[in-house]
Structure 1
Amino acid sequence: MSTTHSWLRAVPADLSPDTVALRFAAARTAGRIPPWLRLWTATGDPVRELDRPLRPDGAARAVLSADALVLVARVTALSRVDLDAVGALLLDGDDTVSVSAEIAPDPAPTPVAALEWGLGDPRRAGRFGAISIGPITASVSVADGLARALARYGSDPAAAPVTAIVVTDSSTPSTAPKGTVTRPDHGARPTATSSETRPSLEFRGGGQYRPWLVPPSPVTVTWFEQDGVLTGECVYDEGVLHPAVAAQFAAVLTDLTAGREPAAFPVPAPPSAPETAPTTIPAAFRAIAATRRDAVAAVDQDTSLTYRDLDERSDRIAAGLAALGVTRGDLVGLCVERGADLVATMLGVLKAGAASVPMDPRYPVDRLRLTTVDAGVRLVVTTVGDFPHVDGVPVVWPGTLIGDGPVPEVAPEPDDAAYVIYTSGSTGRPKGVVVEHRSVIALLAATTVDFALAETDVWSLFHSAAFDFSVWEIWGALLTGARLIVVPYLVSRSPEEFHALLAEQRVTVLSQTPSAFAALREVDLAQPGRLPLRLVVFGGEPLEARALDRWFRKYPHDRCRMVNMYGITETTVHVTATTVTPVQVAAGSRSVGPAIPGWSVSVRAEDGSAQPLGVPGEIWVGGAGLARGYLGRDDLTAARFVTDPLTGQRVYRSGDLGRMWPDGSVDHLGRIDEQVKVRGFRIELGEVRAALLSAPGVSAAAVVLRTGDDSADTRLDGYVVRSGSTVDEVRAHLRAVLPEHMVPATVTAVDALPLTVNGKVDTARLPVPALAVETAEPDGEPETTEDVVLRAWRATVGASIGPGDDFFESGGNSLLAVRLSAALRRAGLPGLSVRDLYLYPTPAEFAAHLAATS
């Protein structure tokens, strides 16, 4: 159905209604008025007739009252020129005009692209707002102005659900043919508008014209032209455009139509930082320890340290380091297994005035050597027996640092380095990020009140010390007087064991990557009891809010607060925070919230200018959490830590993609370099992953781009952890919600997603789809236990596995161990645990273990 418009003119005082009726009858007889147009009489308010829609099968109507003539018609039946002609014939007695009886066909609907930047609220779909625009003198055509504005927002003018209409006064009537508007009708039909949102042109000669009764598009721009001056309204569906976005878009459209460059978009004002005295981590810890001497500070499997114990032990470690020549400003390598000793050693390094360079004991030897050399550490404290030798760098065990020497009198300053954490580099060379004491102190000052962090809390240290999430876990607990539960590595790899530890230790504050939490969530939801958690903090990778739907059914959001935080190593763990609620879950929100106090966040275009609200761009971060830079990489530091051309402040260019909301919140849309190209189409991997997660029964998902020697071999592979749905059902769901070019070529079900040491999805360890596996039965010979074990091993990891091949060295991981355990049980053998695999990592060793214990 085409657009309906309406027209009203006052009946001259000297013209009787009977005369108008006679003119109408004569014109119909003469064929100057279409035979399907009828004239009705009415006694009510003519403005009400102006707003009353046609019947669904109606083409037009004419309504005559004592005061006015009202015409309502589809634009395909009577154009604006035709309405003026009918009025001239009936009210002015102009016998020279005539109106065609032909009704033009409705315009064919064209595909409509969503306004990704609109930030509309689906709950408000069908409610309309209106923004006045103008007056301006147009420098370009209205169509060109709209096209330029949409291009500024990254939308294709030919597909965007936006219509522009130009209306002229009757003194200069439009010459547009029937059915013509500035853009084709997209078939979008909002259900209702109020008279306040229907733009109307007041004729200078008396009367009104309304170019539509129902907006022809979700966003309709109507310009009225009189004497070369344009004024008008932008009417928008609030389900499509947020009011603040609509206001900003209308301003851009007005400026571009007038030939002016739009004003620069503003950046959000950063929230004020709480007032805190400059201090360091050791000084803040000593202040807490002085009031919590006998309270438990850190617990591992074998040790429980009070704040007094931890303070004294770290003093002795600092003394031991000083005896080895460590002093203020030095870097100390730290490659220690997770435990209370790791925490004490880290604190001892800081008390010695040095900064730690944490390394995970499970890193490859080459990575450990590279980090040691690149950082230029004074020495390495490690529990790794075969830590690689580096000339001039002593390697010591934590126990040898416990001495009776004097505690060093040197004290670090707030601007001294606290730690150097190495992150992956795009060139393949890891880079060390130098973070200062003041930034860690600022992080706790920014979050303690909001999160109600208190000495009654129990925190888990789940992450590797080489992952900066651990900085939040360790000092979040110890600088608020809480208890820190150090999670052993093997326990962190087993969701079942980790869940049991959380329950046993009564953990209240949990920090997780979404991928790690997905496995823990499934374990918890299968059990009747509830964990004592009051706060769960997500970080490290994007959170798909819909994945928390079932969690909220068990844990009401007002009892267990779920906080999604965005952050980067270069900005001291966290930058933003938002509390996830069932409303956000239902909406599939990707918000990470506004900046935390003392930090700033904005979304920028390539040239550093601020992006419009809702338009994706690079996330820039400023404020108290900025790192000093990259160790020994002045060129890289200068490229990533820059002076903001808008504020003059130092900021970090994150390389992450985001979009800004009117309230200062940011949606995290993944990495800019996650945009891939498949067969000429640009695709955001995060969007495909979100579609997988929206499939019924899917609890976790990953997407991988695989390339071959030929571009035709390039494809997307999807991976899902599912329950209650088949892979075919997931594929059908994807075909229903994604364009064909975005649907993964394969979808593979896995028992769990493999994780890196840092708890993020390890895409390199996902199984290659259609991997050849050994399934044949042995020829005639009876199977031994080792035969059955080897067959299960090969079905899980690959056909090339031999009896002596190590599970982990062959690509296995703790999550594939779940699949291996299931394969063994299907074969009639006992299942296994991750701990079993570390003890008996080859098929032969595990078969021998089964034989010895059966």
Structure 2
Amino acid sequence: PLSRAVVADEALLTGAVQLVLARIGTGRPVDEARSAGDFLARLRGAEAVALPGVGLHVDAARTGERRLPSLAPTEPAELHFLLHEDGSAEGVLRHDLGALAPVVAERFAGHVAHVAAQLAADPGRTLDAVELMPQDEARSVLRLGATPSTGSAEAAGRTLHGLFADVVRSCPDAIAVTAGSTALTYAELDALGERTAAGLTALGVVPGSLIGVALERNADLVVTLLGILKAGCAYVPMDLRYPQERLRNTVADAGTRLVVVDGADESFPDIDGVRVVTPGEIRALGDGGSAPLVQEDGSSAAYVIYTSGSTGRPKGVVVPHRNVAALLEATRDDFGLGADDVWTLFHSSAFDFSVWEIWGCLLTGGRLVVVDYWVTRDTDLFHDLLVREHVTVLNQTPSAFAQVVEVDRQRRTELALRLVIFGGEPLDVRMLAPWFTRHSHTECRLVNMFGITETTVHVTAHTVTPADVLAVGRKVGTALPGWSLSVRDPHGRLLPIGVPGEICVGGAGVATCYLGRPDLTAERFVADPHGGGRIYRSGDRGRLRTDGSLDHLGRLDSQVKVRGHRIELDEIRNVLLSHPAVAGAAAVLNHDIPGDPATARIDAYVTLRTAAPTTDVLAHARGVLPVYMVPASVTELDSIPLTINGKVDTAALPEPVAVKPGRQGAAAGAGRAGAKERPGAVDGDSGGLTEQVLGLWGHALSCEVTLKDNFFELGGNSLLVIRVLREMREQGLPKVTTQDFYRNSTAGLFIDLVREAQA
């Protein structure tokens, strides 16, 4: 019932329903700059207003009578109001139980009553000041999305190297890191970190500096990161497989004057005013010296990781020590992390999943197995490593783990895994069905975690069971202890349970800022009007469940996830527009097979102001963008189709035209190994091996392939490489390593390689 103080009429009730539907995203938008009085006056003089999904019936009350408009609701929800002679009203909401849960229907009815009371009470109030929920309900929603911290106040002041020192004191002789033939105990790793810190001091580095790190995954990487932290500095990881232009931009944006690189590597660009040193050179300078005495400060920066930016300029996320310390406090007991665990360092240090892998292991006393780059590209070799090293804790993107599931299905070797954590991209739980047929969920726990670089790797956790596979949901779990979740509308207003909107994250994981980007920081890191401190507006779409868990529903903007990589399509668009011949551009995510992450690809469309081959446009993009962001195709159009809102009309875009540059340039996916620059094979075996291999490539790439075509320039990626190699073995062809595939990624060269292996 509405308050007796409210004088109701049909316009008021219609307006209340219309505004509620607009707020929860199921009705037409309403101009909220108007006053309540103006809004209602227009409704009184207007024709019937469409209320999607809601039937509204208003009748005069008659003593002893109640007329139902129908025997059953004709809409998912049906509101029937009775107006009394004194102007008050009371209503009943009937609803379809298959469309609306009772708790959702009850809240919707309460929101209509609450909004109607505000519209009637103050005609001068603008609609944007009308609250959807009563304060008690808003506080209840905020409590539901927040998980109390399990950590102590003291932990907030700790640093990663300070916590590491605690572990060193407790188990100095335990193995901390293994990388190939190298094994370091905690004491040895600590000593090497001290020498690195001393060497940095000898180079004139002062606490608070940002130090670039461009190292392969090896023991030196872990030593260097630890040493940088011990010196009171923060590390800025870079992937050497990025184009040189991107490396230059990262160094310039971070303002670092020192970059640590591998000794034998000459691929890092020369940059004026930037010194390049090797880990060995730094440690040599630290011999006989001492690391600086730096007081523990949990608020100081631990690392700066760069993510894709919509303006075409990647942005650096500054994350303090205390955030990572809080992440460990939040997960240690629940996951049972400890000295008996063996972790892998599988991911690039420029991907924040590596933060969790490195410090999650070393700060809980486990053994960290550093995985060689080429082993990460060969699932057979990686599975062998999991077995050989008795790995117990594995962190994977769902795309990568899908390959592990396939290899594991074909093997009979036993794994020691007890915990698998998914992150980096949405999980399609159906892919886990074959895994559950071999592995009990009570012996190996699978955890789906939603997270963002700006909120320190992970935000939520949900243990996946066979029941989830049957349910096929999008649940990512409840907030970690110390983290909070809420769902808000485009104006930042809190939304009720079950209503989709922007996921906002608060609590212990919220990063400091975007480095040198105060405007963007102010836009995305905002003060919570409900008093919850700073929250991060994620740009992800989700809804809160009644149990406090979160459903992840994708993105609100042009950001996408491809094989764990966060990509702003607008960044690709801006890079394309920087080509002098390009007047307009668009980039879209497509899948050759819907739902199959291995076939995900970026397709680009351009309009040209002057004549230019699309191969030149693609080469320009390849010179700026990392491999995983390079479009698989560039299609020239007369104009980019737009919706009435001025956005790219993706439905109106034609099928992409594949770019086939033949032998022009190195393979897009070949990494630092590069593709061999020699003509394709002249194959006399017209119906045998050539046809078989070209058929396999064509099936994987969903296009016709010739001897001169390069696998990666046709849209190939690491997951498709693994798929092709697996299908080759199933057809009785010789085993080829992923490294050899990358080095012979033109069809003719690859067929030569297979023929030699057969011989």
Q: Is the 8 A contact 1:518 1:699 kept in 2?
A: no
Give, in whole Å, the separation in 2 of the partners of 1:826 and 1:469: 33
After TM superposition, give the deviation of residue 216 of structure 1 in Å.
Answer: 4.3
Aligned residue for 2:107? Answer: 248
Structure 2 match to 1:432? 316
Seen in structure 2, the aligned counterparts of structure 1 residues 517 and 706 have a Cα distance that, compared at 3 Å, is same
Deviation at 1:280, TM superposition (A): 0.6
Q: Is the 8 A contact 1:793 1:801 kept in 2?
A: no
The reply to whether residue 140 of structure 1 matches residue 44 of structure 2 is no
| Contact 1:477–1:484 (CA under 8 A) maintained in structure 2 | yes
Which region of structure 1 is more displaced relative to structure 2, 521-530 or 569-578?
Answer: 521-530
Distance 1:745 1:503, change over 3 A: farther
Change (3 A) 1:657 1:847: closer
Residues 1:305 and 1:144: Cα distance change in structure 2 (over 3 Å): same
Partner residue in 2 for 1:281: 160
CA distance in 2, matches of 1:639, 1:296: 45
Please say if residues 20 and 132 of structure 2, whose CA atoms lie closer than 8 Å, have aligned partners that are also in contact: no
How do 1:598-613 residues align onto structure 2 when only pairs under 5 Å count? 598-613=482-497
Q: Is the CA contact 1:320–1:405 (under 8 Å) kept in the aligned structure 2?
A: no
- The answer for the alignment partner of 1:42 in structure 2 is none
Change (3 A) 1:784 1:394: farther
Q: 1:778 to 1:840 in 2, by over 3 A?
A: closer
Shift of 1:784: 11
Provide the C-alpha distance between the structure 2 equivalents of 1:514 and 1:315, rounded to a whole number of angstroms. Answer: 37
Query: Contact conserved, 1:602 with 1:660, CA < 8 A, in 2?
Result: yes
Contact 2:81–2:90, Cα closer than 8 Å, also in 1 = yes
**Matched residue SS, 1:663:** coil
Distance 1:237 1:546 in 2: 29
How does 1:281-680 map onto structure 2 within 5 Å?
A: 281-383=160-262, 384-403=265-284, 404-411=287-294, 412-647=296-531, 649-674=533-558
Change (3 A) 1:462 1:234: same
Give the equivalent residue in structure 1 for 2:124.
none
1:120-159 alignment to 2 at 5 Å? 137-141=7-11, 142-156=13-27, 158=50
Name the counterpart of 2:93: 234
Compute the displacement of 1:395 (Å): 1.2
Distance change in 2, residues 1:164/1:672 (3 Å): same
After superposition, residues 642-791 of structure 1 pair within 5 angstroms as 642-647=526-531, 649-674=533-558, 692-693=594-595, 702=600, 707=605
2:717 matches 1:813 = yes
Equivalent residues of 1:547, 1:700 under 8 A apart: no
Equivalence for 1:124 = none
Q: Which stretch shifts more, 843-852 or 375-384?
A: 843-852
Counterparts of 2:170 and 2:479, CA distance in 1: 32
Q: Quote the offset at 1:787 in angstroms.
A: 6.7
The whole-number CA distance in structure 2 between the counterparts of 1:329 and 1:512 is: 32
Distance in 1 of aligned mates of 2:592 and 2:445: 23
* Alpha-carbon spacing, 1:829–1:255, altered in 2? closer, same or farther (3 Å): closer
2:147 & 2:439 partners in 1: Cα distance? 31
Where 1:154 maps in the other structure, the secondary structure is: coil
Residue 25 of structure 2 aligns to which amino acid in structure 1? G
Q: Shift of residue 213 of structure 1? A: 5.2
Partners of 1:478 and 1:841 in 2: how far apart? 38
CA-to-aligned-CA distance 1:559-603 (integer Å, 9 cap, x gap) = 322222221111111122222233333332212222212222211
* Greater RCO (CA < 8 Å, at least 6 residues apart): 2
Select between 473-482 and 136-145 the one with higher mean Cα deviation.
136-145
Aligned residues: 623
SS at match of 1:815: helix
Distance in 2 of aligned mates of 1:527 and 1:484: 24
Aligned CA distance change for structure 1 residues 793 and 536 (closer, same or farther; 3 Å): closer
Q: Give the TM-score taking structure 1 as reference length.
A: 0.65
Q: Judging changes above 3 Å, is the alpha-carbon distance between structure 1 residues 661 and 388 closer, same or farther for their aligned structure 2 residues?
A: same
Q: Which amino acid aligns with 1:391?
A: D
Distance in 1 between residues matched to 2:390 and 2:2, nearest whole Å: 59
1:327-358 CA deviation, whole Å, 9 max, x = no partner?
21111111111122211111011111111111
Q: CA deviation at 1:367?
A: 1.6
Secondary structure in 1 aligned to 2:718? Answer: coil
Answer yes or no: is the 8 Å Cα contact 2:599–2:720 preserved in 1.
no
Partner in structure 2 of residue 268 of structure 1: 142
Change (3 A) 1:531 1:229: same
SS at match of 1:328: coil
* Alpha-carbon distance in structure 2 between the residues aligned to 1:529 and 1:322: 48
Residues in 2 aligned to 1:550 and 1:823: alpha-carbon distance in whole angstroms = 18
Code of the residue aligned with 1:245 in structure 2: it is V
TM-score (normalised: structure 2) = 0.73
Amino acid in the other structure paired with 2:290: V
- Aligned runs of 1:840-851 on 2, under 5 Å? 840-842=744-746, 846=750, 849=753
Q: CA deviation at 1:641?
A: 1.7
Cα deviation, residue 271, structure 1: 2.4
**Matched residue, 1:14:** none
**Quick check: 2:476–2:551 contact (8 Å CA) kept in 1?**
yes
Helix, strand or coil at the partner of 1:584? helix
Query: Take 1:784 and 1:559, find their aligned partners in 2: how far apart are those partners?
Result: 49
Deviations 1:162-211 (A, max 9, x none): 3334454445xxxxxxxxxxxxxxxxxxxxxxxxxxxxxx45xxxx7666
**What are the Cα deviations for residues 603-645 of structure 1, in whole angstroms up to 9, with x where unaligned?**
1112111123222222222222122212222222222222223
Deviations along 1:280-318, whole A, 9 cap, x unmatched? 111100101111112111112221211122111211222
- After TM superposition, the structure 1 = structure 2 runs for residues 42-191 of structure 1, keeping only pairs within 5 Å, are 137-141=7-11, 142-156=13-27, 158=50, 160-166=52-58, 168-170=60-62
Contact (CA 8 Å) 1:268, 1:664: kept in 2 or not? no
C-alpha deviation, 1:479, in angstroms: 0.4
Aligned equivalents of 2:392, 2:279: Cα separation in 1: 30
The 1:709/1:788 distance shift into structure 2, 3 A limit, reads same
- Percent identity, aligned pairs only, is 46
CA contact (8 A) 1:133 1:233 kept: no
| Aligned-pair CA distance for 1:663 | 3.3
Q: In structure 2, how many angstroms separate the alpha carbons of the residues matched to 1:827 and 1:551?
A: 24
Q: Secondary structure at the match of 1:655?
A: strand
Structure 2 counterpart of 1:61 = none
Q: How many Å apart are 1:138 and its aligned residue? A: 1.6
Change (3 A) 1:530 1:140: farther
Residue 566 of structure 2 aligns with which residue? Answer: none
